[in-house]
Amino acid sequence: MDFPFTGVIPIDKPPGTSSRRVVDIVARACGMRAVGHAGTLDPLAMGVVVVCVGHATKLVDYIHQLPKRYEAVFLLGRSSPSDDLETPVAEEQDARRPTYDEVLAALPPFRGNIMQRPCDYSAVHVNGQRAYALARKGRDIDLPHKAVRIDHLAATAYDWPRLSLDIECSTGTFIRALGRDVAATLQTQAVMESLVRTSIGPFGRDASLAMADIRTETVEATLLPAVAAVPHLPQVVLVGAELDAAVRGGLVAGPVTEGSPVAEHLAAVDGSGDMVGILKRHSSGAYRLRPNFRGVG
């Protein structure tokens, strides 16, 4: 199917609106239904939401592989069922007030690959239901820990009760849970007061389109090519008979680089630099387009 628009566009979402709302506004501006986002941002949060348009909606899973960066502010000595200000906040009686040095000492164990328990108020599925739906009914929730990666974690300001953290992490990390767990290490509690997603991979907030400015002409002017969504994948150019074979669903040979690991996924572009799709490694060692922007698959 041919789309009038194909590509990705970073949107700067304001607080108080959902990621779904952002998608709906972009879809109306494009006059298209094939629009989606790569990574939900809670209504209370603000910052970068990457919206995929046309064939680029097939790249959402690859965008999820990109790191996300956040600026978060937590209130120590407080707790809430949702770990933020969405639900009633209770102040801890005689709360322990850690020193700045203690805060700094608490952070290193949370860097790298860690196991994290998701928040009760989250979209995680529990026996076919969302955890937040069960939490709102007062049900006890047993959420297993999950593996996440914290590439960067630094305290940028601390003045009791506010603690500001700068975080770069993998998709699936719960920032509210990170603040909750850091506070527990400091023998206190925490709720998230504010959250700003400053970037997703190369998509920064400073180069994002404000939601209030979304119109057909601004989307067209700001839309980035689909290949911009996969900067972390090796790129291969397909031309001539090789391009024709790939588009028809055939196998094509991948690049051979001595001493380098074999890539499982490659970003395929044509001679003009337009994206053709993702080449996935076949059991034979060759590659096949999946997804294929121009043909089958």
- Catalytic positions are 42
Nearest to 190 by CA among 122, 123, 103: 103
Cα–Cα separations (whole angstroms), residue 98 to 75, 94, 144, 163, 233: 12, 12, 29, 11, 43
Looking at this protein, which amino acid is placed at residue 23?
V
Instruction: Judge if the upstream peptide bond of residue 291 is cis by omega within 30 degrees of 0.
Output: yes
Nearest to 212 by CA among 25, 16, 47: 25
Provide the H-helix boundaries in the chain: 19-30, 60-63, 100-106, 131-136, 175-185, 216-222, 240-247
